[in-house]
Amino acid sequence: MKPLAEPAIVVVERGEIEIIPENWRAVYFEWLRNIRDWCISRQLWWGHRIPAWHCRDCAGITVARESPSKCAKCGSTKIEQDSDVLDTWFSSALWPFSTLGWPDQTETCASIIRPACSSPDTRSCSSGSRG
């Protein structure tokens, strides 16, 4: 996150982006200069379910776009999807991807969120399981 925070700090320091009201600048800088891990799972009834399946045989975790039929680690079929859902903030960050056609490399998606839509890493996401 730090590589993302640094340019966000710079544009506010230079005045290219203005924080209104002014007193929230301190809060903004505090958050961006002290990046901490954020738990993205919640125990709620609604939301995007965590795309992770737990194996009852080896305790391995399979992460995949589509529901896997077996554990990626040991091949067991005794797997169960994590019952948690993604944090609301995380889910809301998925909105532009959902509405702009990702994982397909649509023209609109590439023009607005080019790094995510065109990076080699995300291209491998569209070919199926990452587990």
If one asks whether residue 73 binds Zn ion (CB under 5 A), the answer comes out as yes
Which stretch in 12-20, 55-63, 83-91, 95-103 sits in contact with Zn ion by CB under 5 A? 55-63
Tell me which of 50, 53, 55, 117 binds Zn ion, using CB under 5 A: 55
Q: Which residues of 94-124 are buried (b: 16+ CB within 10 A; e: fewer)?
A: eeeeeebebbeeeeebbeeeeebbeeeebee
| Given 50, 51, 71, 102, the residue binding Zn ion (CB under 5 A) | 71
Region label for 33, one of left (φ > 0), alpha (ψ between -120 and 50) or beta (otherwise): alpha
Stretch binding Zn ion (CB under 5 A), from 30-38, 60-68, 97-105, 114-122 = 60-68
Number of residues forming the site for Zn ion (CB under 5 A): 8
